[in-house]
Structure 1
Amino acid sequence: MEAKRRVRRLAGWSIIIAFAVMGLKFVAWRMTGSVALYSDALESIVNVIAASAAFWAISVSHKPADQDHQYGHHKAEYFSAVLEGVLIVVAALLILAEVWRSFEAYAPLEQAWEGIAVNGLAAGINAIWAFILIRAGHQHSSPALAADGRHIMTDVVTSVGVLAGLIGAVVTGWYALDPLLAMLVALNILYQGWKVITSSLDGLMDRAVAVEQHLHIRDVISANSKGALEVHDLKTRIAGRATFIEFHMVVDAQMTVGESHAICDRIEDALQLEIPSVRVVIHVEPEDEAKLPVGTAAIPFA
C-alpha cells in the first residue's frame, strides 16, 4: 500500500515539476529568440501532457480487480506510455516545421547568456527528477513512471546538447548553429518517441519476462517442488507491475488433493517472496494423464 501511495505521489509531483520546467524554458526562449531553445521548450509541453497521462494511468492501474476487470487494471500504464511516445513524435514534427521556417532567416541571439543560464537551471531540475522517476519506476515495476523518467532524461540530454551548441554559436558568432541544433533535437526526439512506443506495445502484447528472470523462476520452482514428479510448460507474461506465471505440475496419481495443494502453496509462497507482484496458476496433473507439450522440456528438480 505504501508503494502504491509513493508511485501516485511521484506521478503527481511530475505534473508540478513539468509545469515549472516548461515555464523556465519558455522564458529562456523569449529572452533569446533561439529556435533551438524554442524546440526544447516545445518538448516540455509534451512533458506536461505526458505527466498528466501517467498520473491518470497509475491511478487506474492501482485499482483492485473488479467484475469487469477480473485480472486487475495493470495494463493501463502502457496506454499512458504509448500516448507519451505519440506526443513525443508530434513535438518533433512541430520542431522540424519551425526549423524549416527559421533556415530562411536567422539572426544573432538576444540576451544569450541569460537565456542559456535559465535553460541550464531547467535542465538541472529535469536531470534530478528523471533519475528519481526511473529508479522508482524500476523499483515499483511502473512502466508509466519509468517511461516518463526516460523521456525527461532524453529532454535533459537534448538540453545539454542545445546549451553546448548555443554557447559555441555565441562565442564564434556562427548563428546558423541555432536551427541546426533544433533539427538535431527533433531527430533525437523522433528516435526516443519510437522507442517508447515500441516498448509499450511490447507490454500490451503480453511479453514474457526476460531470459534471466525466466531462469530464476525455474530455479525457484525446482527448489520447492519436492513431492512432485515433474513440472513443465512454464509460461510467463508481464502486465505493468504484475508478473503472471503458469505451469503444469505432474504428481503421483495416488497423491491426495491436499498433498498436491500443499506443494502448490509452497511453490507459490516461494515465488511471492522473489516477485511480490506475481500471480501464479498451477495446473496439477496425475502422472498417468500427463502430456509434455511438443517442443518443451520438463524443469529439472533441485
Structure 2
Amino acid sequence: MTAPITREEAGRLMRLASNAAVAAALLMIGLKFYAYLATGSVSLLSTLFDSALDIAASLVNLLAVRHALMPADAEHRFGHGKAEPLAGLMQVAFILGSSLLLLMEVYDHFVHPKPVTRPGVGIAVMGLSIVITGALILLQRHVVARTGSVAIKADSAHYGSDFLVNFSVIAALLISWNFGLWWTDPLFGLLVALYIAYTAITIGRQSYDMLMDREMDEAERARIIDIVESHPQAVSLHDLRTRRAGQDMFIQFHLELPDTISLIEAHLISDAVEASLHEAFPSAEIIIHQDPHSVVERRQDLRARMDQTRPGRSALLDADAKRGV
C-alpha cells in the first residue's frame, strides 16, 4: 500500500504528467506525419490520427487537471474535483472520433488497395514512438498509483492503446514488405480502430461512475470501518456514505457512542476518529454525526417489529432518520 499523499504533492505530479503528455503527443505527430508521407501506410496513418487526437485530449486534460486542483470557493463548496471525470468524458469523444475516422480510412484501403512504400522509414519512426510512449506511460502509471487521478488514468489508458498500436503497425509494415500481403496493413488498422473504441468505453464508464457519485470500492470502505471501530470508545458506525470527485474524497457516517458520555467527550472522540481517518485519507472531507448507541438499538428493534406487522414501513423510518425526523 502506498503512503498517503498530500493534495499539493498530488497536484505537482498530475501537472507533470499532463505537461509530459502534451509534449510527447506533439513530438509523435511530427514524426508520424513525416513517416506517413514517406510510406503511405494506412496502419501508420491510424497512429497519426490517434496522435493528433492525443494532443487535443491531453490539452483538455491539462486544463481540467488545473481546474480540478483549484481549492473550494464560495460558489463551489465541494471543490472543483469533478472537472477530472468531465475531462475523461471529453476524451471518450476524442477517442471515438479517431476510431470512426480510422474505420473510414480502413474501408477505403480495402476497396482501393494502396502499396506501402519505404517501410523502413515507418518502422524506424514507430520504434522511436514506442520508446517515447513507453516512457510516458511509466510516468503516468506512477502518478496514478500515487494520486488515483481518473483524468491521468484515462490519458494513460489512451497512450497504453497507442503503445500496442505502434507494435501492430511495425508488424503490418514488416508483413506487407516481406510477403507482399497488402491486406495486412488495413487489417491491422481495423483491429486498432476496434481496440481504440473499447478503450473509450472503459474510460467512459469510469468517468460516469465518478460523476454519479459511485461509492468508493469495498476495500476502502472496509478500511474506513476498521479505522473507526478501532477507537476504544467507538461502539460502531452506520449509514456510511462515500464518494470521490477527482482528488477530493467525501466520507460521512453516523458514529455510535456510549450513552453515558458527555457532549464534550463525544466531540473529542469524533475529532480523534476524524484525525485517524485523515492519516489514511489525507484529501478526505469527513462529516460525522454522533448517535447514542441505545437510540440506534431502539430504532433497529422498532424497524424489526414494523417489518413483522407492516412490511416496507421500516424503509420509511430509515428515510425519516436520514432527514433527522
Larger helix percent: 2
Cα distance in 2, alignment partners of residues 199 and 251 from structure 1: 37
1:145 aligns with 2:155: no
2:276 corresponds in structure 1 to 270
The residue that corresponds to 1:3 in the other structure is 10
Indicate the residue corresponding to 1:103 in structure 2.
Answer: 110
Q: Give structure 1 stretches of 5+ with no counterpart.
A: 297-302
1:67-146 aligned at under 5 Å gives the runs 67-146=74-153
Specify which of 287, 291, 308 is matched with residue 285 of structure 1: 291
Does 2:224 align with 1:217? Answer: yes
Moved runs in structure 1, 4+ residues, more than 6 A? 293-296
What is the SS of the residue equivalent to 2:255? strand
How high is the sequence identity, in percent, across the aligned residues? 32
Cα shift at 1:91: 0.5
Partner in structure 2 of residue 164 of structure 1: 171
After superposition, give the CA deviation of every residue in 1:147-179 in whole Å (9 maximum; x if it has no partner). 111110111111111211221111111111111
Shift in Å, 1:254: 4.0
Secondary structure of the corresponding residue to residue 90 of structure 2: helix
Give the secondary-structure state (helix, strand or coil) at the position aligned to 2:54: helix
Taking the aligned partners of 1:217 and 1:287, their CA distance within structure 2 comes to 19
C-alpha deviation, 1:250, in angstroms? 2.2
8 Å contact kept, 1:138–1:146: no
Q: Matched residue of 2:117: which SS?
A: coil
8 Å CA contact retained: 2:69, 2:247: no
TM-score by length of 2: 0.86
| Residue 24 (structure 2) aligned to one of 12, 17, 21 | 17
Instruction: Say yes or no: does 1:229 pair with 2:235.
Output: yes
Aligned equivalents of 1:221, 1:252: Cα separation in 2: 14
Aligned to 1:30: 37
* Distance in structure 1 (CA, Å) of the matches to 2:160 and 2:293: 54
Q: 1:201 aligned to 208, 211, 222, which one?
A: 208
Q: In structure 2, how many angstroms separate the alpha carbons of the residues matched to 1:166 and 1:65?
A: 52
Counterpart CA distance in 2 for 1:158 and 1:14 is 17
Structure 2: gaps of 5 or more residues: 1-7, 304-313, 319-325
Name the residue aligned to 1:242.
Answer: 248
Deviation at 1:183, TM superposition (A): 1.0
- The question of whether the paired residues in 1 share the 8 Å contact of 2:254 and 2:289 is answered with yes
CA-to-aligned-CA distance 1:274-299 (integer Å, 9 cap, x gap): 11212211111234533458699xxx
Which residue matches 2:180?
A: 173
CA RMSD of aligned residues (A): 1.7
- Counterpart CA distance in 1 for 2:161 and 2:66 is 25
Q: How much does 1:15 deviate?
A: 1.0
How many residues are matched?
295
The residue number in structure 2 matching 1:64 is 71
- Rounded to whole Å, the distance in 2 between the matches of 1:17 and 1:230 is 50
Q: Which residue of 2 aligns with 1:300?
A: none
* SS of aligned partner of 1:71: coil
CA distance in 2, matches of 1:257, 1:18: 58
* Matches of 1:208 and 1:10, distance apart in 2: 27
